[in-house]
């Protein structure tokens, strides 16, 4: 027997090569996972972290994708999934004592937000 799965409509938005460590993004991302859209926007607006402004813009983009491309209702939307993966690291060198050098790693991340409609 074949198990039929319902296709739940979902919309997503992706930010690539964000100049912030994925570790710092995950702290804020965990705050909004599973929350309704309006509640998630409020949390992001008042969270004093570097990644919250970037995530707020990305969430608004995902909402616009859901409404315009997938005809989803704004009132039913929620953050189904959000994850931040590590992107390429920019390696720089800084002079140090006694003619040596220290490597500076400027980390980047790829962030994806998936939003779905509640039943």
> pLDDT for 74-116, tens place per residue?
999 999 999 999 999 999 999 999 999 999 999 999 999 999 9
Query: Which DSSP string do the residues of the chain spell out, in sequence order?
Result: -PPP-----EEEEEEEEESS-HHHHHHHHHHHTT-BHHHHHHHHHT--SHHHHHHHHHHHHHHHHHHHHS---GGGEEEEEEEEEE-PPEEEEEE-GGG-EEEEEE--EEEEEEEEE--
For 6-63, write each residue's pLDDT tens digit.
Answer: 677 899 999 999 999 999 999 999 999 999 999 999 999 999 999 999 999 999 999 9
State how far the Cα of 70 lies from the Cα of 19, in Å rounded to an integer.
Answer: 30
Q: Quote the pTM value.
A: 0.88
- At residue 2, does pLDDT exceed 70? no
Question: Considering the domain 10-84+111-117, what is its CATH architecture?
Answer: Alpha-Beta Complex (3.90)
pLDDT exceeds cutoff 70 at 3: no
């Amino acid at each position: 027997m074949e198990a039929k799965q319902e296709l739940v409509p979902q919309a997503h938005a992706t930010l690539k090569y964000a100049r912030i460590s994925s570790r710092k993004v995950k702290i804020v991302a965990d705050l909004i996972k599973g929350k309704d859209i309006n509640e998630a926007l409020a949390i992001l607006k008042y969270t004093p972290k570097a990644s919250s402004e970037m995530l707020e813009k990305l969430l608004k983009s995902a909402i616009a994708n859901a409404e315009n491309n997938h005809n989803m209702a704004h009132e039913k939307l929620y953050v189904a999934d959000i994850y931040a993966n590590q992107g390429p690291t920019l390696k720089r060198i800084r002079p140090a004592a006694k003619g040596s050098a220290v490597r500076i790693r400027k980390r980047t991340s790829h962030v994806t937000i998936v939003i779905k409609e509640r039943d």
